[in-house]
Amino acid sequence: MDFIITILEQGLIYGILGLGVYITYKILDFPDLTADGSFPLGAAVSAAMLTRGISPFFTLPVAFLSGALAGVCTGLIHVKGKVRDLLSGIIMMTALWTINLRIAGTSNVPL
């Protein structure tokens, strides 16, 4: 039974990620790869704050805002920097990989 609950939890979480990718690719017609970096960014921010003893109710909005900030940065690179849409997503995804490692301090954070 525990296995089924774990499957449902992970499926619902990745379902939200899939919905975000679908919206950017199909509806907005913007091939945004930032979701590959902003999804772990929220997890890294939340894990780093939880290991420092901060309340989970405070970490979730901060993690959400960090992911939103990553999307804003992608938009700024595309619009203000006049970089093509796909390349701006790749740049941000690559930058977020490094930022995620810096925030977490290690590749895996034990909670």
d(Cα 108, Cα 90) in Å, to the nearest integer? 23
Other Cβ atoms less than 10 A from the Cβ of 53: the count is 6
Give the model confidence (pLDDT) of 80-102 as tens digits.
Answer: 999 998 999 999 999 999 999 99
Check: pTM over 0.75? Answer yes or no.
Answer: yes
Q: If pLDDT is split at 50, 70 and 90, which confidence band does 108 have?
A: confident
Quick check: 109 pLDDT over 80? no
Give the model confidence (pLDDT) of 33-46 as tens digits.
Answer: 888 899 899 999 99
Quick check: 18 pLDDT over 90? no
DSSP-based three-state secondary structure for 57:
helix
Amino acid (1-letter code) at residue 50: L
DSSP-based three-state secondary structure for 71:
helix
Q: If pLDDT is split at 50, 70 and 90, which confidence band does 60 have?
A: very high
